[in-house]
Structures are given as structure tokens and as C-alpha cells.
Amino acid sequence: MSAVDAPPGIAFAGVAAGEFVARRRPRRLAGRVMLLVLVTGAVTLAIGVRRAPSASAELLLAVPLVCWSVAGVGYAVRRARLRIDRDGVRWGWNDIGFRVTRDRMERIDLYRDAIAVRQRRGSTWYLSGHDWDLFQRMPGVLRRAGLPVETHERRAPVGARLQSYGIVLDLLLLADAAASVFALGVALGL
């Protein structure tokens, strides 16, 4: 797996059989948390700078940076796209992405609620139905692309569901928003 699979600006090899984005609700959550954390963090940081010599000033300066980082990662992950073509599966953005090529794939396991992209070497990618808009179309797109698929008429194993990032990411974003608001409350209370 490579972090940059093509020079910036050059599209992924071949015509895409399908391209998928995160579901609307998780995308909206990530955007709203990002906005909330930017505003509350900026106010917290401004209060922390004014009270710089105090004992709690370091905390008021550090918490917004941590919250911005978590919100930024969540926002970026929810803006990533999944692209499927005859050469493999790619997750990422226009210029940077990760992919599993056909020659590195062992197989793709299709479950009712998830897809497991198994590699000959390396970790398995789990794509949860919770994360992707039009998830029900993915199996057909994978077959049309001619990728090696194996269908299982059951839900994905618990381990696979735990490894897909969706629900955990949503909870992390909610905790991040709560931490940012709490830090602002502490700053205002000083």
C-alpha cells in the first residue's frame, strides 16, 4: 500500500466503475463539529493568550490545538472518496490516496453490511455500510470491475465491524466537540 499512488493531478488508472462518498449525515456531522471546534477553540485560545502567565494558561493554549487536530482528521476522512475500477480499490482524495491493486488482492469478501478487501500481504480493509452512501451498489460495481469477489449471505464478523472506522469516528467527533465546549466553559469561568 502506498500513500501517494500517482503524481498530484493525475487520475487513478482506468475509468472508474464506481465512486462513493461518505453518507450525508456523517459528512454533515464532521463539518458541524469542525465549525464548532474552530469557533470555540479560537475563543478559548484568545482567552488563554490574555491569561498567559496563569497556571491554567498552558491548558487553554493546548486544548484548542488538540481539538482542531481531531476535528480536522475527522473532516478529512469524511471528505475522502472510495473509487473502484478494473485495477483495484482506492480510498483518498484527488491528490493523495491509498489503494489496493488487483495484483495485491487475495479476494474481496462481500457481506450484507460490509466489504472486506483482503490483501496477499498487509492489512485487510473493511468498508462498512454505515460509512458509505449507496453502499448497496458497491457489490455490483466490484463485480463489473472484474475484481475477485466472494459473497457471504450474512453480516460481517464482529472483528470486521469493529475495524471499520465509521461509528467510532462519529463518537470521537462528538467527544471532541464536547471537549472543546468544556474548555471554553473553563476559560470563561476563570
> Tens digits of per-residue pLDDT, 12-54?
455 677 899 999 999 999 999 999 999 999 999 998 888 777 7
* pLDDT at residue 107, as a whole number: 92
Q: What percent of the chain has pLDDT over 90?
A: 51
Amino acid letter, 91: W
Task: Give the model's confidence band at 81: pLDDT under 50 very low, under 70 low, under 90 confident, else very high.
Answer: very high
Residue 97 has pLDDT above 60, yes or no: yes
Kindly report whether the global pTM for this prediction surpasses the value 0.75: yes
9: Cα separation from own chain's centroid: 21
* pLDDT at residue 14, as a whole number: 57
CA distance linking residue 137 with residue 109, whole number of Å: 15
Residue 2 has pLDDT above 50, yes or no: no
Residue 1 has pLDDT above 50, yes or no: no
* pLDDT at residue 5, as a whole number: 52
- Mean pLDDT (the chain) is 86
CA distance linking residue 19 with residue 138, whole number of Å: 9
CA distance linking residue 139 with residue 23, whole number of Å: 17
CA distance linking residue 92 with residue 3, whole number of Å: 9
Residues 84-98, mean pLDDT to the nearest whole number: 90
Residue corresponding to grid cell 462513493: 20
* Of 76, 124, 83, 80, the residue nearest 104 (C-alpha): 124
How would you class 2 by CB atoms within 10 Å of its CB: exposed for 0-12, middle for 13-18, buried for 19 or more?
Answer: exposed
Residue 6 has pLDDT above 60, yes or no: no
Residues 84-107, mean pLDDT to the nearest whole number: 90
- The residue ranges of every structural domain in the chain are 18-189
